[in-house]
Amino acid sequence: MIILTGGAGFIGTNTLITLNRMGREDVLVVDNIAATDKWMNLVGMAFRQYIHKDRLWDWLAARPSAPLEAVIHLGACTDTMETDFDYLAENNLRYSQRLWRVCTQRQIPFVYASSAATYGNGTVGFSDDHSQTHRYRPINPYGFSKHLFDLWALKQSDAPPRWYGLKFFNVFGPYENHKGRMASVAHFAIPQALEKGVIRLFTSGRTDYGDGEQKRDFVFVEDVVGIAIHFLNNAAPSGIYNAGSGSAQTFNRLAAAIFGALQKPVNIEYFDMPESLHSSYQYFTQADMTKLVEAGCNFEPTSLEDGVQRYCDWLLKSRSADG
């Protein structure tokens, strides 16, 4: 049995789909769905049981001999604008520590979600070399909570037999509808292009970047799921790994890809970035994927245009099904 936390979330749902395609239905989905629409992500999926995240510990204590094979830990508070650090520490640090100890005790692999937000503004690079981890300075509480767990994991002598922290970059794709303001730029831009024929992007607040020329490592969700599954199934060296595309693309190119996928003329408007974002805005991200390739993952990222096309096709199909 595989424990999948955040199993009704964005990357979690896509992971569950992949596991089902592999014939795996013995999945314990752990999440906090509450009064959200995330339950809809689980419709039609195959899994053993759903458990609220706070009840997982009692479930485990009552089943000391449960045949657990691995934990894929994708559950977290992912709101980069959350200011309650105690809440973030409880959900993103201490919860992960407890799962680490479970995997250590039961000697099963542990795959967890870190974040590119741990790199901060990128001035010291985006290397997943462990010797560089202490140098990074996250620029929001969310990133810091993730960074603290990475640092903690690297110091542990008692560890799962195999463990992997995946630093997700700018992931986009199906099943992120519930994420609200934390959904990808593509998630907001596609409806804009469909309904209004225009995509609105931030102006640049720096002279070295033109409007819409800010760059991100946009990565299609199926690519990062593929990385997680690779580590689940292969005995690569334990540690922290980047999970991006390996290339930085401008927001203008993303917008052009969306218009192309929808067969509409390119029409971009720029507006000023909210003042609250100025201090925590990343102008450039790009994953160094060297370490992942050296770990035996034959990684071929989906191109931005192909990923956007697949996302648009999925969204249009979903809208059609909804009537």
β-bridge partners, 31 = 52
| 216-261: pLDDT as tens digits | 999 999 999 999 999 999 999 999 999 999 999 999 999 999 999 9
This prediction's pTM: 0.95
| Sequence-separated (6 or more) residues with CB below 8 Å from residue 84 | 141
- Which one-letter amino acid corresponds to residue 134? H
Question: Are β-strands 70-73 and 170-172 bridged in parallel, bridged antiparallel, or unpaired?
Answer: unpaired
| 200-220: pLDDT as tens digits | 999 998 899 999 999 999 999
Tokens of 227: 């990385």
| Alpha carbon distance 82, 84 (integer Å) | 6
Out of 97-101, 174-178, 240-244, which region has the weakest mean confidence (pLDDT)? 174-178
| pLDDT greater than 60 at residue 48 | yes
Instruction: Read off the pLDDT band of 183 (50, 70, 90).
Output: confident
| pLDDT greater than 60 at residue 110 | yes
| Alpha carbon distance 294, 275 (integer Å) | 41
| Alpha carbon distance 101, 122 (integer Å) | 31
Q: What are phi and psi of 181, to 5 degrees?
A: -65, -15
pLDDT for 266: 97
Q: Which domains does the chain have, with CATH numbers?
A: 2-172+218-247+284-303 (3.40.50.720), 180-215+248-282+308-321 (3.90.25)
Residue closest to 164 by CA, chosen among 35, 303, 70: 70
Q: Helix (H, G, I), strand (E, B), or coil: what is residue 123?
A: coil
Helix ranges, the chain (H): 10-21, 56-61, 85-88, 95-106, 141-155, 185-196, 221-233, 251-261, 290-294, 304-321
Cα dist from 226 to 13, 172, 230, 245, 268, whole Å: 13, 14, 6, 12, 33
DSSP 81: T
Cα dist from 213 to 1, 54, 159, 174, 270, whole Å: 45, 42, 42, 25, 11
Which residues are designated catalytic? 142, 179
- Which one-letter amino acid corresponds to residue 238? S
